[in-house]
Structure 1
Amino acid sequence: MNSISINYPKIPHWNAVFSLFMGVTSLISAEFIPISLLTNIANELHITEGQAGQSVTAVGVLAVITSLLIAPLTTKINPRHILLTFSATLIISNLLVALSPNFTILLIGRSLLGICVGGFWSLISAITLQLVPQQNVPRALSVIYAGVSVATIIALPFASYLGDLLGWRTIFYLSALLGVLTLVWQYITLPTLSTNNKSNFKEMVNLLNQSWVITGLIAIICSYAGYHIFFTYMKPFLQYNLNLSHGGLTTTLFCFGIINCFGTLIASFFINRSFQTTMISIHIILGIVAVAFLFNQHSFFENIITVLLWAFIFGIIPVGWSTWIARTLPKQAEMAGGFMVASIQLSITLAAALGGMIFDHYGVPALFLTAACIFIMAITFTYLSFSLLYKITKEKI
């Protein structure tokens, strides 16, 4: 926004931006790899698949705590050093999991990863503002968030396939190797970054006292919950409702990741032209897609197309909400980023829990109906947040 002053660099540091892309790829693939290897891990460690699944939950819990504390507790530390520390901790986390002799060590390794995930995501928006000129911020965020889509491909079809061939421990060794490459790249390319001395607990409370911020965070929760309430149970939908074979399922998940990545990469094209219209429109489209699922549950071709459309549109959402922070709260981006990460992790947890109950009692159609309703809430709170901010600033973002 024009009324907010911040010193953007004159020359973009694109190598550093791509090192953050590698960081996202390393973190998110490590976070979700156990989803593909639950049975393998459970059998070897002599635990149930439910216990093995807690290794994913542990990441989410620690990510929420870290995302809220990282900004006020690191005000005097160079963000470059913090980021490199998280990348080094990611390597240690993967090695602990790969070497874990029992469930306890497994959870310790995964908890370390949760700290990395929460801290890294909280810093992304603030660091990006110091790497590229203002007009390049949406494009840089598109590149960084493309790592989520690449990580999805690594963690789902590739990890599942290679895990059966090489063993689940080898997959985590490979994940650690990816972390080493990331750490080296970031060490070479990341410039010295300025600290933010205003990120304290008092400022956090002041930020939450602004109604447009609260409604924006609620919109983020609805946005991610609406997507994940179906995404979490997409695999059984593809397997049982569409009767996909193992090969067909792997191919579909691979295409899902590719299309999602494409949506992320071109997000800046839409965002730079009309940010508010884009943010509201993508939620409207996702709500329509959810309804389309409801009326075409057993049509194979139409459902595959709809699944891919779902992936493409959602690819825009992470870039959109990070741009919202970059444009409205550039000087408080670390705190706002922490709140956004906490909101996302909360929404994923709630979506998984609510989706599980709905799926067990009412089946897939109820998931689609619930997702559509949640997207209506996302549209409402997104519009309300923009309207409240406009009343204060008299400027559109």
Structure 2
Amino acid sequence: MDPALAHADAVALMPGDALKVGDKPASPERPAWGAVAAMMLGVTALLTAEFLPSGLLTPMARDLGVSPGLAGQAVTATSLAGLVGALSTPTLTRRFNRKPVLLSFSILLVISNLLVALAPSITFLLAARIVLGLAIGGFWAMAAATTIRLVPPSLVARALSIVMSGIPAAMIIAVPLGSYLGEVASWRSVFLLATALGAAVFVIQALALPRLAPRGEAGLDTLIDILTRPGIGAGILAATLVFTGHFGYFGYIRPFLESVTGLGAAGVAATLLAFGVANYLGSFASGLMAERKLKLTLIAMPLAISVIGLLLSVLGKDVIPALVLVALWGFAFSGVPVATTTWITRMVPDETESGTGLTVASIFLGITIGAAGGGLVLDLMGAAAVFVAGAIPLVLAALLIATKVRTRAP
């Protein structure tokens, strides 16, 4: 079977799911694959910028004269702003054509990357990353609801899987490649390249995306209604905990590989490449698992990541175990975005955009807590302790999902 088709089958948004209450997605006679590809490139460019600090943390901290833990707050600033963007975008843009709104996020991406590349201080850099966070949160809040309007109902799952493939692509580009280029050139040069990537994506989106009229209304009452549905609140909290643990790990993987495993720049880049490739390959297998055994997938992924983190804290001083465990971690995490998207679209098929925005906000909250907490643990207790502390929210998430989360709408 074609991997793209296998991955597409794993996305459980049913063809008839509505974008808003009583509002079904458009059904064009011909799928707009160019527009779908443009959406995927938007995901890739935005998440590449988001993940870059994880691979460039050491040179960024050294150049700016701050600790790695403080430099890691570039992730915290981005995710906190992303939370705001995800919650506010459906409401603030509900009367605007979707194309210019999406293009505005690409403009913010370009501005943020350029400002980061020129940042004279950590304060300036954090402010620039807030701009990026608003763009990422807003884009993700609209991504699924926009994509399902670009193709006929029978091709919705395939289109969503293509857009989501931008996640592992960004992990491969940002962390290993960014880490390598940061050593051979400079971390500022890497962000200039990310600026060029964002500009290219803007041009492609301007040419490929159709004009999409706004649909329906969304407000605070919609979010409250979703949260009060059975099992939704517990699922949102579980998503927050999963991303707290994962990004407590991921934001500080480079200091760990340098200080505990003893790798140089080339070794770090190779290990992070293993993470990205395993994550990409795992997205297909875990997607099929999510379709067939959604609750098991939701429970198994955070448990697996927690065990891998604990093993890294003990065995990570040796190169081969560290490489294998990081690759397994990438494979295990690949199921989290697919399973989370599958879950929310099954549970709130009548409120795709608002439900997705709420889930994205919970994810950014988790990233904020994980990045902030991981930086504190790194500075106070060292890199190995980060992987012990990060296991706690992951285990709690698995327990919460097992006991409180539903995977079928009542």
Q: Distance in 2 between matches of 1:25 and 1:339?
A: 21
Q: Distance in 1 between matches of 2:387 and 2:76?
A: 24
Change (3 A) 1:292 1:133: farther
Change (3 A) 1:307 1:172: closer
Change (3 A) 1:48 1:29: same
Within the candidate set 203, 206, 218, 1:199 is matched to: 218
Q: For 1:205, what is the secondary structure of its paired residue?
A: helix
Cross-structure match for 2:169: 150
Within a 5 Å distance, the mapping from 1:49-198 to structure 2 comes to 53-100=72-119, 106-133=125-152, 136-198=155-217
Superposition CA RMSD, Å: 3.2
Q: For 1:272, what is the secondary structure of its paired residue?
A: helix
Within the candidate set 32, 35, 51, 1:13 is matched to: 32
C-alpha deviation, 1:119, in angstroms:
0.6
Is the contact made by 1:139 and 1:268 (CA closer than 8 Å) also made in structure 2?
no
C-alpha deviation, 1:291, in angstroms:
4.8
Q: Distance in 2 between matches of 1:162 and 1:360?
A: 26
Change (3 A) 1:384 1:8: farther
* Alignment deviations for residues 197-253 of structure 1 (CA, whole Å, 9 cap, x no partner): 231122222222224211110110122122222223322332333332332222111
Q: Distance in 1 between matches of 2:139 and 2:17?
A: 25
Q: Which runs of 5+ in 2 are unaligned?
A: 1-12, 19-23
Q: Distance in 1 between matches of 2:115 and 2:280?
A: 30
Once the two structures are overlaid, the 10-residue window that deviates more, 123-132 or 249-258, is: 123-132
Within a 5 Å distance, the mapping from 1:21-60 to structure 2 comes to 21-37=40-56, 48=66, 53-60=72-79
| Amino acid in the other structure paired with 1:7 | P
Change (3 A) 1:186 1:384: farther
C-alpha deviation, 1:299, in angstroms:
5.1
Q: Post-superposition, which runs of at least 4 consecutive aligned residues in structure 1 deviate over 6 A?
A: none
| Amino acid in the other structure paired with 1:159 | G
* Alignment deviations for residues 348-394 of structure 1 (CA, whole Å, 9 cap, x no partner): 2222333344455655665444444433322233244543x64x62x
Is the contact made by 1:138 and 1:323 (CA closer than 8 Å) also made in structure 2?
no
Q: Distance in 1 between matches of 2:61 and 2:308?
A: 36
Change (3 A) 1:4 1:14: closer
Change (3 A) 1:188 1:231: same
Once the two structures are overlaid, the 10-residue window that deviates more, 159-168 or 243-252, is: 159-168
C-alpha deviation, 1:173, in angstroms:
2.8
Is the contact made by 2:260 and 2:384 (CA closer than 8 Å) also made in structure 1?
no
* Alignment deviations for residues 151-180 of structure 1 (CA, whole Å, 9 cap, x no partner): 233333323333344444433332222112
Within the candidate set 324, 334, 347, 1:328 is matched to: 347
Seq. identity, %: 34
Within the candidate set 243, 248, 252, 2:262 is matched to: 243
Is the contact made by 1:220 and 1:343 (CA closer than 8 Å) also made in structure 2?
yes
* Alignment deviations for residues 99-136 of structure 1 (CA, whole Å, 9 cap, x no partner): 45666654553332221111111112222222345565
Is the contact made by 1:146 and 1:265 (CA closer than 8 Å) also made in structure 2?
no
Is the contact made by 1:75 and 1:200 (CA closer than 8 Å) also made in structure 2?
no
Once the two structures are overlaid, the 10-residue window that deviates more, 107-116 or 2-11, is: 2-11
C-alpha deviation, 1:297, in angstroms:
4.6
Once the two structures are overlaid, the 10-residue window that deviates more, 273-282 or 309-318, is: 273-282
Within the candidate set 256, 269, 274, 2:275 is matched to: 256
Q: Distance in 2 between matches of 1:357 and 1:107?
A: 17
| Amino acid in the other structure paired with 1:268 | G
Within the candidate set 327, 334, 349, 1:315 is matched to: 334
Is the contact made by 2:247 and 2:370 (CA closer than 8 Å) also made in structure 1?
yes
- Between Structure 1 and Structure 2, how many residues are aligned? 390
C-alpha deviation, 1:38, in angstroms:
5.3
Is the contact made by 2:61 and 2:67 (CA closer than 8 Å) also made in structure 1?
yes
Within the candidate set 356, 366, 369, 1:350 is matched to: 369
Within the candidate set 336, 358, 362, 1:339 is matched to: 358
Q: Distance in 2 between matches of 1:358 and 1:107?
A: 20
| Amino acid in the other structure paired with 2:276 | G
Q: Distance in 2 between matches of 1:98 and 1:298?
A: 33
Once the two structures are overlaid, the 10-residue window that deviates more, 213-222 or 59-68, is: 59-68
Q: What's the TM-score once normalised by structure 1's chain length? A: 0.84
* Alignment deviations for residues 63-115 of structure 1 (CA, whole Å, 9 cap, x no partner): 22121111111111122221111112222333333445666654553332221
C-alpha deviation, 1:195, in angstroms:
2.4
Q: Distance in 2 between matches of 1:281 and 1:155?
A: 27
Change (3 A) 1:104 1:309: closer
Q: Distance in 2 between matches of 1:289 and 1:163?
A: 27
